[in-house]
Structure 1
């Protein structure tokens, strides 16, 4: 069985389309868990319309906002009964064959912990902006199975190239529950989870466009490039990658670190931010060149006031 977890916050406008796209799946062995994070719109009214649907196993309304999408992920995992998990984000929707094709990959390959598909990127009015294939290299034109560590080294070492959680089905037994470390993250918890899911297994990819990924100005995705918090959170991922040697080319890895340092410099880090960064960097010998770059940045900041 698949546990479909729908975490929602103020997406009333898209909820019916989201839930109906799950109910209309050709693969029928699933439960739906709906988690509302104290929405202030009419989400509750829409969700209640599905309470008596036999596929809906749990509806939970938070009394206060959790402040973390990833706390909701963990809550959904704790409530889930399925062998596989689909985090179906509340502002996206799916092709009717999404579960049929992704479940087949996990059923046929016991060592595959995660399967993801291609997506259309859509706007708030359901207009297709483009598909996400152009974000990937030529190796993503065809379906493949890959060793998880190798995939991390090629595609996840610098950034998250699994661009939307709604395009992912994963094996529940591989999820690092309770994964408390992700609950402190605002932006990169999905990237962290994907790495931990596949580093001891395999990953499957389908080029079929089975997911409709909504991008609008209030989405987390649209804010990443302008967030210093996102840059800091990325160091948790880099820490994990460094300590497990999950990179192919150290020089490229180091370039990435120094690139992030440059971005942080342009944001004029506060003293508190610098102390947080230094405390992290000093623990890892792999990051020595980056550490030196950060110290240099701090000196420049002090000199320039």
Structure 2
């Protein structure tokens, strides 16, 4: 099997508590052809992050350590910095508060190489709390392989199905080709990022929970969801997909039903935010019988027949 060089980008901000576990889960991978780029975004933690990072200064896998003198205010600026510095054919953005199984890279690379013109391979994730305790059950299914259009129409049209960057390897060249406007969305720019990469090639899914995604009580994305920011980004992404691909009327209505239900059920900061988003998405106050039927079909077509993604 071809063993491409992987550039592992670890963007850190105030995660000194988890940082050693993150770095160790990278350095001890069974797949050995990688470099590590550690980026600290001016963490205001009295040097706690720096003290962890400096322990790895002379590790042979660590190619770069960069400390920002001023906080960028945007994690996607750090993503871009790491991708620009990377030397590998593939990149892995290993978020600093997550960790993974030690065979994750090996399994992802094997899946990535199974079909030509692959641009993304990712595993499913296990959500864990601050203590590392599982928040869902362990599940495993056969791997899946999709063309660009299949994956976008079946999954990205409905939601950001790549749960977080830590579970994913992707083509560096494809990442260099993406439109830079994803960095304009600090809360959900990854949704645009994955769409921009997915439209360039095939996608492989390893249906085993090889990455552990840590959920905190004060997660920034929860704030952006509550004030409506994420739903505005979602609308922009869905519009982009519908304008860039041939999406049939059935899938458009199915996507509409899916997003409208999410908008109805969400708890917002205030009623004004709710009404503005309903107007943006053209959501009716009550869900029609037809929409309920569509959502039942969505459940069957998108999940029960397609494993656990």
Q: Structure 1 178/159 Cα, relative in aligned 2: closer, same or farther at 3 Å?
A: closer
Conserved? CA contact 1:117–1:211, under 8 Å: yes
Answer with 244-253 or 145-154: which moved more.
Answer: 244-253
TM-score after normalising by structure 2? 0.80
1:7 pairs with one of 2, 8, 11 = 11
Structure 1, gaps ≥5 residues long: 134-139, 282-289, 294-305
2:255 pairs with one of 248, 253, 256 = 253
Residue number in structure 2 paired with 1:33: 37
Q: Structure 1 251/118 Cα, relative in aligned 2: closer, same or farther at 3 Å?
A: closer
**Secondary structure, in 3 states, of the residue corresponding to 1:7?**
strand
Residue number in structure 2 paired with 1:47: 53
Pairing of 1:206-285 with structure 2 (within 5 A): 206-223=206-223, 225-245=225-245, 247-248=247-248, 249-256=251-258, 267-269=271-273
How many Å separate the matches in 2 of 1:166 and 1:258? Answer: 29
Whether 2:76 is the aligned partner of 1:76: answer no
1:115 pairs with one of 118, 121, 124 = 121
CA apart distance, 1:241: 1.1
How many Å separate the matches in 1 of 2:59 and 2:204? Answer: 32
Whether 2:147 is the aligned partner of 1:147: answer yes
Conserved? CA contact 1:117–1:210, under 8 Å: yes
How many Å separate the matches in 1 of 2:258 and 2:114? Answer: 37
**Secondary structure, in 3 states, of the residue corresponding to 2:135?**
strand
Tell me the C-alpha RMSD between the 2 structures.
2.8
Structure 2, gaps ≥5 residues long: 285-309
Residue number in structure 2 paired with 1:298: none
Answer with 98-107 or 10-19: which moved more.
Answer: 98-107
CA apart distance, 1:221: 4.5
Conserved? CA contact 1:121–1:132, under 8 Å: no
How many Å separate the matches in 1 of 2:99 and 2:252? Answer: 39
Conserved? CA contact 1:114–1:169, under 8 Å: yes
Residue number in structure 1 paired with 2:94: 88
2:65 pairs with one of 59, 62, 76 = 59
**Secondary structure, in 3 states, of the residue corresponding to 1:81?**
coil
How many Å separate the matches in 1 of 2:29 and 2:164? Answer: 19
How many residues are treated as equivalent by the alignment?
A: 275
How many Å separate the matches in 2 of 1:36 and 1:145? Answer: 35
Q: Structure 1 266/158 Cα, relative in aligned 2: closer, same or farther at 3 Å?
A: farther
